[in-house]
Amino acid sequence: MMNISRQRPPDPPNPEPAVRAGHLTVVRGTRTVLRDLDFAVPRGRITGLLGPSGCGKSTLIRAVVGTQAKVTGTLEVLGRPAGDASLRSRIGYVTQAPSVYDDLTVRQNLDYFAAILDPGRPAADRRDHAVTRAIADVDLTSHAGALAGTLSGGQRSRVSLAVALLGHPELLVLDEPTVGLDPVLRRDLWALFHTIAADRGATLLVSSHVMDEAERCQSLLLMREGRILADDTPDALRARTSTDTVEDAFLHLVDEAAGNTAGKETVR
């Protein structure tokens, strides 16, 4: 289990994307939150899911993880339909609000989730090792004995992240993991994400509403109002829109889309 995480030879590029969506639509109540999306998330890389608050990022993420109801269209995750039981141990998921037990210590939280992923007495040593490492990965070793409820918001979200790192998921889905963190920590976490993608060969899908985080991703999905504006690498996106930052590129695409619909309406 541990030996695969260290510097394994680079796999031949896997042509099959980690996530592939076709005509993906999600309805919540009476509102269509995601409308007819088509996109792919490449394997072994960090894909940023960027867009303003309320554009449907969390809904998309919940659909990928398989906790969202009323999903239509096709959505394949690691070669299986999203929500398939066999995917549950292959995906690490961090919800937007830290989902940990406030009345357990950091270590007790991880011990429990580790026991769900890798149950049984014979696995106890392996679990212990995995937990210690996950706590070290998110830089909380000195807080391992503290109750999660007494930690700061940023620390609690790192506990939540550590849970997702347990068990070496092939796909890590992180909903706004860096919100409210100080810049140093944010940099460290992004370094960790890159390490996970490069060394463990995992795929990461990271959402954020902060556009400058886009520059740290290897590929991007830009979202607005339930639609995908662009599905490209940051470089290609900037080049295509002849802008300097992803934020400018986003604005450019929004204006372009508005121009298109306005144009169509005048034609009509």
What is the closest distance, in whole angstroms, from the C-beta atom of residue 111 to another protein in the complex? 8
What is the closest distance, in whole angstroms, from the C-beta atom of residue 192 to another protein in the complex? 20
Nearer to another protein, 163 or 206 (CB): 163
Residue 178 token pair: 């860096």
> Using CA atoms, how far apart are residues 1 and 131, in angstroms rounded to an integer?
13
Nearer to another protein, 147 or 257 (CB): 147
What's 3's DSSP letter? T
Q: Which of 162, 187, 191, 156 is nearest to 174 (CA)?
A: 162
Nearer to another protein, 89 or 245 (CB): 89
Strands 19-28 and 80-81: unpaired
**Taking a C-beta distance cutoff of 8 angstroms, is the pair 19, 205 a contact?**
yes
Residue 173 token pair: 């889905």
Nearer to another protein, 11 or 125 (CB): 11
Helix 246-267 to helix 234-241 angle, to the nearest 10 degrees?
50
What is the closest distance, in whole angstroms, from the C-beta atom of residue 44 to another protein in the complex? 10
What is the closest distance, in whole angstroms, from the C-beta atom of residue 27 to another protein in the complex? 9
Residues in contact with another protein by the rule CB under 8 A: 1, 3-4, 11, 28-29, 65-71, 78-79, 83, 85-86, 88-91, 93, 95, 97-105, 108, 112-113, 115-121, 147, 163, 167-168, 170, 201
